[in-house]
Structure 1
C-alpha cells in the first residue's frame, strides 16, 4: 500500500485583531523547546517537522508517511496542536486558510534564498502569503511517477474545488472560492503541465527551466503536481489548506486513489487523456472561482456540469483503489459532509454574513483548525 504524507502551510495571527503576526521565529523557538509529536521523524523516516515558510507570518507542518488514513489524520492534528501550543507562547493563534482574511504587510523570512526571491520576483514574492496543502504519495520510480502525473491532470481541479478555502484577499471578498489559486499562478512555473511521457523528458524540462535563469532552483518548480525533489513521491500541490483536518485527510485519500488508479493505467499502457494545458487552466480557474457551489468542467467531455456530479465522477474513477486501500467509506462520508456544511470558503463567508466582522472569520478558523468546532 502506498504511503501518504501531508504538508500544511498555516498562518500565524493576532489573537485579538486576527491580523497576521510576524512571529514565526519565536513560534519555532518555542516549538523546539517542547516535546515533539509522536508523529515526529526519525533518521530513517522522512518528514515529521515544523518549519519556516516564505513569510514570517506562517509556518509549515510536515507529517511522516502513513499507509492508514486514520493515522495520517492523527499526524495532521498532532502537528497542528504542536504549532498551536508554540504560537500561543509567541502571542499568536494558528489558522488554516488559503489566504489571510485581513490585510497584511510583507515580512519575508531573512534567509538568503528568500531574499534573492524578493530581488528577482519583486511584489510576487512580497505578497505571497498563502496556505496550501501538499500531498506526497509514494511511487516506485520516477518513470511510474511520470506515468501518474500524465494521467491525473484532469482530476486535479476537483481537489481544488473541494478544498477551496481562500475567499478573502486584503480584507475584501474576491468572489473566488480559492483566491490562493489565483495568487499562485503569478509564479512562472505554477499551474498545470503538458504530458511528459518519460522521466527523462520531465527532468530535461526542469533542467532547462533552471538553466533559463527565470527561476532560482528546482524548489521553484510549482507545478500543480510534480515529482518531489526530496522524497520518492508524487507531490500533488493543487489544494488549499483546509480548516478541518478531516478534509485534509479526504484530499490525501483521493490523491492516493488517483495515484493508484493512474499507476495501474500506466502499467497497462493506457494512453493519458489528451487535454490541452490551456483547457486545464480553464478547468482550474472554474474550480477556483466557484468551488463546489457552481459547475465544474467534466475532464472527459469538457462541458460544464454540477460540482456534485463531477466530484461523484472523481470518486467513481478511483473507487477500486479507495476500496482496496480501505478508504471508500471514509471518502464518501466526508464528501457528503462537505456538500452538507460547505467547504472552507463557504464557511468563511457564512461567518462573515453572520457577524459582519472578518476578525470573527479568523476566530472561527482558529477554532476549526484546532478541532474545536464539534
Structure 2
C-alpha cells in the first residue's frame, strides 16, 4: 500500500481579536526535537508535517498530534493556531528571517508582501520518477474537485472575497503556480523544470509551484492544490482521495492507457471555478469539461478512484466523509455561517481555532 504524508500550514492568531501574530520564531524555538514544526514564508504561520503512513487512522492521529503540538507552543507565545487558508481579519504579514525569503521579497515585490496563505500538501509514495510523472500526467483534471472540497478561504483583508478559496487566487500570482501540460516522461519533466529555472524568473527548484509535482526531498508525488482544512477528518478524506488518484493513475499507466489530452487553458478554468464556487453551485466536470453540480463532480471523483479506495480499505471512509462534507459544508461555508450569525470576523477566527483542535 502506498504511503501518505501530509504537510499543513497553520495561521498564528491572537485569541481575542483574531489578528495574525508574528510569533513563529518563539513557537519554533520552543518546539521539541521530536515535534515536526517548520518555519514558513511569513512569521504569522507555521508548518506541520506527518511521517509517511499507510493507514488513514494513523494519519489522522498524527495530524491531530501536530496541530496540538503547534497549539501548545503557540499558546506559550501568547497566540493560537487556526487552520485557515487566509486570514479573515486584516493582516500585515512580516517576512521570516531567512536569506532565501529576503531574495524572494526583492524579486517578487508585492506578491511576497501579501502572501499569507495556508495550504495542505499531500505526499504519496511512487516507485520512480517515471511512475511519478505518469501519475502527474493522469491526475491533472481530477485535482480541482479537491480544491472545491477543501476550500477554506472566503475572506481576504477583512472582506468577503466572493470566492470559496481566495487562497487559490492569491497563490496563483507566483510565476510557476497552477496547472501544467502533460510531460510524457520523467526526462521531459526534468528538462522542463531546468528550462524554467534557466529563464531566471524562478530562484530555484523550490519555486516549482505546480498544482502537483515530484517532491524534491522524498520519493513522492506532492499534490499541493488544497486549502488547509478546518476539520481534521476532511484533511484525511482529501489524503485518501489523493492516494486513490495516484494508484488509479499508476494502474492506468501500466495498462498503457494515455492521459487526458485536456489543455492547460481548460484546467485553469476548472481551477478558477473550484476556487469561486467551492461546493455550492456548479464545477467543471473532469471528463466532459461542462458545468455540473458540485455533488455530481465530487461523486465522479469518488467513482473514478473507487477500486483503489476499496483495495486500500478507504472507500467507506471517503464516502461517509463526502456525505458529511456536503451536509456540514466546507471551511468556507462554516466561516460564512459564523460571520452571518455574529457579524464579527474575530468570532470567525475563534471558531476556527476551536475546530482546528476539535
TM-score using structure 1 length: 0.95
Structure 1: runs of 5 or more not aligned: 38-48
Shift of 1:106: 2.6
2:117 equivalent to 1:149: no
Shift of 1:149: 0.3
Question: After the TM superposition, which parts of structure 1 deviate over 6 Å for at least 4 consecutive aligned residues?
Answer: none
Write the distance in 2 (CA, Å) between the matches of 1:99 and 1:70.
28
Residue 40 (structure 2) aligns with = 53
Residue 254 (structure 1) aligns with = 241
Q: Is the 8 A contact 2:44 2:93 kept in 1?
A: no
Correspondence for 1:182 among 146, 163, 169:
169
Correspondence for 1:105 among 79, 92, 95:
92
Match of 1:293, SS state, is coil
| Cα deviation 1:149-201 (Å, max 9, x = unaligned) | 00000000000000000000000000100000000110000000000000000
Question: What are the within-5 Å matches in structure 2 for residues 227-238 of structure 1?
Answer: 227-238=214-225
Residue 25 (structure 1) aligns with = 25
Residue 213 (structure 2) aligns with = 226
Write the distance in 1 (CA, Å) between the matches of 2:34 and 2:251.
37
Match of 1:59, SS state, is strand
Residue 300 (structure 1) aligns with = 287
Residue 239 (structure 1) aligns with = 226
Shift of 1:81: 0.3
Q: Is the 8 A contact 1:97 1:365 kept in 2?
A: yes
Write the distance in 1 (CA, Å) between the matches of 2:357 and 2:286.
35
Write the distance in 1 (CA, Å) between the matches of 2:30 and 2:76.
7
2:255 equivalent to 1:268: yes
Residue 73 (structure 1) aligns with = 60
Correspondence for 1:281 among 256, 263, 268:
268
Shift of 1:36: 3.5
Residue 333 (structure 2) aligns with = 346
Correspondence for 2:186 among 172, 195, 199:
199
Write the distance in 1 (CA, Å) between the matches of 2:132 and 2:322.
27
Match of 2:172, SS state, is helix
Shift of 1:31: 1.7
Q: Is the 8 A contact 1:164 1:345 kept in 2?
A: yes
Q: What RMSD, in angstroms, separates the aligned Cα atoms of the two structures?
A: 0.7
Write the distance in 1 (CA, Å) between the matches of 2:54 and 2:167.
29
Residue 128 (structure 1) aligns with = 115
Write the distance in 1 (CA, Å) between the matches of 2:182 and 2:103.
31
Q: Is the 8 A contact 1:36 1:82 kept in 2?
A: no
Shift of 1:29: 1.3
Match of 1:186, SS state, is coil
Write the distance in 1 (CA, Å) between the matches of 2:178 and 2:34.
34
Write the distance in 2 (CA, Å) between the matches of 1:30 and 1:300.
49
Q: Is the 8 A contact 1:96 1:369 kept in 2?
A: yes
Shift of 1:240: 0.2
Match of 1:2, SS state, is coil
Write the distance in 1 (CA, Å) between the matches of 2:69 and 2:97.
24
Count of paired positions: 358
Residue 359 (structure 1) aligns with = 346
Structure 2: runs of 5 or more not aligned: none
Write the distance in 2 (CA, Å) between the matches of 1:286 and 1:368.
26
2:160 equivalent to 1:173: yes
Shift of 1:299: 1.5
Q: Is the 8 A contact 2:84 2:352 kept in 1?
A: yes
| Cα deviation 1:267-309 (Å, max 9, x = unaligned) | 1110111111000000000000000101011121111010001
Write the distance in 2 (CA, Å) between the matches of 1:298 and 1:101.
30
